[in-house]
Chains A and B, each alone.
Chain A
Amino acid sequence: MLDLDVCSADDILMRRNSLRRQLMATEGLRELRIAVLGGSTMDHLVNILELLLLSNGFRPTFHKGEYGRFYEEAVHESHELAAFKPDLVYLHTSCRNVVNAPPLTCSEADLPGFVEAELNRYREIWDSLEQNVGCQVIQNNFEMPANAILGNMDSVASGGHSRYLAMLNLAFAEEAVRRPRLMLQDVHTISGHIGVRNWFDFDRYFSYKILLQPEANLGLARSLNSMIRAIYGKSRKVLVLDLDNTLWGGIIGDDGVDKIQIGRESPQAEAYTAFQEYCLSLRERGILLAVCSKNNEDVAKSGFAHPDSILKLEHFSAFKANWEPKHLNILAIAEELSLGVDSFVFVDDNPAEREIVRSQIPSIAVPEVGNEVTRYAAIIQAGRYFEPASLSKEDLERAALYAQRSQVVAQQAKFANYGEYLDSLEMTAEIDTFKPVYLERISQLTNKTNQFNLTTRRYTLAEMEAAVADPNSIPLYGKLSDKFGDNGLISIVLGRRTGDALHMDLWLMSCRVLKRDMENAMLDAVVERAKARGIRTVVGYFIPTAKNAMVRNFYAGLGFTAAPPDPALPEGSTVWELDLAMYVQQNTHIKVLEFANA
């Protein structure tokens, strides 16, 4: 289904009624009665808002006023509004509805009078709604005019409309502070983001009195949706963060705490620092932070001991660093914090992690942040997840509303199991003996991989070339691509034959393809080639280092059995054997390309 948080107005336009039918079928929606009064035709906005609210657990019923009659309807016909029994009145007006704008010749002394005159009109409206309807009111402030006829002076001169509207906006803000039932929608900022040039649609205004362009209406609807979520206590409260390439640049398990990008030493480091500052500012306004990372816990935590790290361990309310699937960790965090996952936002640079979390936990928000750290904050902000309702709105019947558990539409089918998820990734592997073109990368990966590395043996390029030339060696590389793109060359195994045994001198893999069953595919390839040479046993070695604890039980997981330790290896090393006679192919989720020289 269409992701309404990020789609374009065009996407919605072409299938609005189908989407509506689909969403209306959702069960457990909360009834919400909204009266919409406007200075122009509001149907288009209402249509989009309806979809957004439906997908956020509300079933809205609308009362739509006649365009341009907002004042009469609010002040003189408020009994009709009251009869509708709205939970909420949305009053949308634009700078075109302003009737007391000053003339160009207006003096400095007269200007406040024009502000006061317009403000009084709105005070009448708000007073009447407060007294006669008595519900929450959302009123927008004003965008800047389509044509600032005095140019830059329009914001300076006492007859300039830009200045006048800015003064009105300030006066509206002061009214909203004073009036507990009035919330202000900041159209000044929303129209600024979208652009005043993309805001008004005068073709449609003169034809149908629809003032705003579709994208502008979508922007308005998204902001309204977040305000309504906030009013009903459905704003999100927790930001769950990945670590490597999300909160700092680099892979801490491989690079070590000294090499991660954070601080002021490089543009990248500065960008990650800025993102950490953004996260900290969210925490300071009450959003809980949590970590969910595939790492060893002590290694992950060491990142926050980096002297330049803005975020410190004490800023996190929950910290999960292990090798379990992320959705399980997130559910555990929710339990720890006693909060619903529907109040969570998950940020990870890895699209595959985002996908599995999104599919396994439909109610969590997973913004498509991409993998450019400079974009993360803007994309999270655009989602409007953490919209606060002002403190004075706390007296709303929160408790009752909280009880209405948000039943967010399952936008994607849940995977029945992990295997189904793996299948959905549409993975294809290329596994073959070393090729000259890859030797550079093979050598590089061999010498920098620390975590998923069974023996952590380092090889020079010359030693690698020698290993390839040796007829007793089976040197294999693996490349893996999936529907999100090509992960490149990510695994290396190097077997050395002695008699009818194959000794695995090297077995390593990049952590970005962890838990994809790539190791099973690699083992299949090793076994196939070993059998072809009459080899009966594969012997695996684990040599412990400070960083490779995650593969301690790697061979057991592949069906190897423990063999007597080898005294020649460092202390703590283990030896494993696999009898090839009974071997059954292990990989079932990755399509492996066949090669002639296999």
Chain B
Amino acid sequence: MPEISPDVVLAQLQPIVQEALNEPGITVNRSSNANNTKNWDSLAHIELIEMVESHFKVRFALGELQDLKEVGDLVDLIVEKTAAKG
């Protein structure tokens, strides 16, 4: 898979976040996180991670998930993981 840019990843994340948070109208940016975003509870978070793994065909390790603080971290991690896959 060719390397995806952070902007592309963020754009592809939008419908996934909307579905996971059950908020069809929502848009997130790099500094969005569970505290400043509606409906982002722990269950939605689990589902979101699962959907991201399915969509980008990556698998996060336990430690990687612990370090995620906001959407920007997730975007960077996805870019890194998809690039590493080659």
* Contact string against B for A residues 194-211, beta-carbon threshold 8 Å, 1 for contact and 0 otherwise: 000000000110111010
Would B46 and A208 count as touching, CB distance under 8 A?
Answer: yes
Say whether B54 contacts A10, CB under 8 Å: yes
Give 5 pairs: A residue, B residue, CB < 8 Å, sorted on A: A13-B51, A14-B19, A14-B55, A17-B19, A17-B22
* A-chain residues with CB within 8 Å of residue B13 when the two chains form the complex: none
Q: How far is the CA of A26 from the CA of B54 in the complex (A)?
A: 29
Q: Find out whether the CB atom of B55 lies under 8 angstroms from the CB atom of A210.
A: no
Chain A positions within 8 Å of B42 at CB level: 208
Residues in chain A within 8 A of chain B (CB atoms) = 10, 13-18, 20-21, 43-44, 47, 203-204, 206-208, 210, 214
B46 touches A17 (CB 8 A): no
Question: Contacts A18-B19, A43-B43: A13 and B62 contacting too (C-beta < 8 A)?
Answer: no
Which chain A residue lies CB-closest to B54? A10
Residues of B within 8 A of A43 (CB): 43, 46
Tier of interface size on chain B: 10 to 19
Cβ–Cβ < 8 Å partners of B22 in chain A: 17, 20-21
Task: Flag if B47 contacts A13 (CB, 8 Å).
Answer: yes
Whether B80 is near chain A, meaning CB under 8 Å from some CB there, is no
Chain A residues with CB under 8 Å of B65's CB are: 207
Total A-B residue pairs with C-beta atoms closer than 8 Å? 32
Q: Which B residues lie at the A interface, using CB under 8 A? A: 16, 19-20, 22, 42-43, 46-47, 50-51, 54-55, 62, 65
* Chain B residues in 8 Å Cβ range of A204: 46
Task: Say whether, besides A203-B62, A207-B62, A207-B65, A13 and B50 are in contact (CB < 8 Å).
Answer: yes
Nearest A residue to B19, CB-CB:
A17
Residues of chain B lying within 8 A (CB to CB) of residue A203 = 62
Give the chain A neighbours of B50 by CB distance below 8 A.
13, 214
Q: How far is the CB of A151 from chain B (nearest CB, A)?
A: 29
Residues on A with beta carbons closer than 8 Å to the beta carbon of B55? 14
A469 CB to nearest chain B CB (Å) = 59
Sample of 7 further A-B pairs with CB below 8 A, known A13-B54, A207-B62, A210-B46: A13-B47, A14-B51, A17-B19, A21-B22, A44-B46, A207-B65, A208-B46
Q: Is the CB of B19 within 8 A of A15?
A: yes
* A438, B61: Cα distance in complex, Å: 59
Are A16 and B46 in contact, CB atoms less than 8 angstroms apart? no
Q: How far is the CA of A206 from the CA of B61 in the complex (A)?
A: 12
| A13 CA to B65 CA, complexed, in Å | 19
- Shortest CB distance B4–A (Å): 18
Report yes or no: B62 in contact with A206, Cβ–Cβ below 8 A: yes
CA distance A547 to B43 in the complex (A): 64
CA distance A138 to B43 in the complex (A): 25
Tell me the complex Cα distance, A44–B22, Å.
15
Tell me the complex Cα distance, A13–B51, Å.
7
Instruction: Knowing A43-B43, A206-B62, A207-B65, say if A16 contacts B19 (CB, 8 Å).
Output: yes
Question: Which residue of B is nearest A10, CB measured?
Answer: B54
- Hey, which chain B residues are within 8 Å of A15, CB to CB? 19
Task: Tell me the smallest distance from the CB of B26 to a CB of chain A, in Å.
Answer: 12
Asked whether, in the complex, the Cβ of B43 is within 8 Å of the Cβ of A17, the reply is no
Minimum C-beta distance from A223 to chain B (A): 22
User: Cα distance A164–B55 when bound, in Å?
Assistant: 41
